[in-house]
A and B are shown apart, each in its own frame.
Chain A
Amino acid sequence: MIISWQKEVTRRLLIFVEMALIGILAAKTELFAAYPDGTVLLQRVDQNSVAKTQVVEIKMIIHGRRSDRTLKSRSFIEGQERAFSEYTSPPREQGTKMLKLGDQLWTFDPRTDRTIQISGHLLRQSVMGSDLSYEDMMEDERLSDNYSATVAGSDTVEGRECWILELRGKHTDLAYPKSKIWVDKERYVALKGERFAKSGKLLKSMTAKRIDRLDGRWVATWILYKDELKTGGGTEFIIESAKYDIDIPEQVFSKASLRR
Chain B
Amino acid sequence: MNDVAIIGVGLHPFGRFDKTAMEMGAEAINLALDDAGVQWKDMQFAVGGSFEVSNPDAITRLVGLTGIEFTNVQNACATSAAAIKGTADAIASGQYDIGIAVGMDKHPRGAFGGEPDKLGLPRWYGESGLFLTTKFFGMKAHKYIHDHGISPRTLARVAAKNFRNGERNPLAFRRKPISEDEILESPMLNKPLTQYMFCAPDEGAGAVIMCRGDMAARFTSNPIWLKASEIRTRSYGAYEVHATCAPIMDGVSPTVHASKAAFEKAGISPADVGVIQLQDTDAGAEIIHMAEAGFCADGDQEKLLADGATEIDGSMPVNTDGGLIANGEPIGASGMRQVHEIVRQLRGQGGDRQIPGKPTAGFAQVYGAPGTAAATVLTT
Asked if A and B bind, the verdict is no
